[in-house]
């Protein structure tokens, strides 16, 4: 149990659908992250939130829209995705961002398939 949960665990959606991924952390952290894990590629950082404020958007297409209503919850809203967006989407949290080395705790991921 890592203290970071993600729902759903698996999602299949068509290119015209709209869906949302949810992440919740029970660790009292203030920073949350979305990563994309594709086969044979390094994990790609997508978004970073610190104290509910977005601090990083790593050139992610606008069809991915994050939302962080509070420090415990993070959403990734999806619309008009492409088949190449099929991947494992991982959420992580840490105490906060900044110059200190705070450990990141990862959720189990949502396996997304775009048809």
Partner 1 sequence: GNSVTQMEGPVTLSEEAFLTINCTYTATGYPSLFWYVQYPGEGLQLLLKATKADDKGSNKGFEATYRKETTSFHLEKGSVQVSDSAVYFCALRARTGANNLFFGTGTRLTVIP
Strands 18-25 and 31-37: unpaired
* 10 is a contact residue toward partner 1 (CB under 8 A): no
* 7 is a contact residue toward partner 1 (CB under 8 A): no
User: Could you tell me which residues are beta bridge partners of residue 74?
Assistant: 23
Min dist. Cβ of residue 85 to partner 1 (A): 19
Nearer to partner 1, 81 or 92 (CB): 92
Is the peptide bond preceding residue 87 cis, with omega within 30 degrees of 0? Answer: no
Residues 58-77, mask of contacts with partner 1 (x by CB under 8 A):
--------------------
Side-chain half-sphere CA neighbours of 56 within 13 A: 15
Q: Report the C-alpha gap between 110 and 13 in whole angstroms.
A: 12
Interaction site with partner 1 (CB under 8 A) = 2, 4, 6, 31, 40-43, 45, 48, 50, 55-56, 90, 92, 94, 96-109
């Amino acid at each position: 149990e890592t203290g970071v949960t993600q729902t759903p665990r698996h999602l299949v959606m068509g290119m015209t659908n709209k869906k949302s991924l949810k992440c919740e952390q029970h660790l009292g952290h203030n920073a949350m992250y979305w990563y994309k894990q594709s086969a044979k590629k390094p994990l790609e950082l997508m978004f970073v939130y610190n104290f509910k404020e977005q601090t990083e958007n790593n050139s992610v297409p606008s069809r991915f829209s994050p939302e962080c209503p509070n420090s415990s919850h993070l959403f990734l809203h999806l619309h008009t995705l492409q088949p190449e967006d099929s991947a494992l989407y991982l959420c992580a949290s840490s105490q906060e961002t900044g110059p200190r080395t705070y450990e990141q705790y990862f959720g189990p991921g949502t396996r997304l398939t775009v048809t």
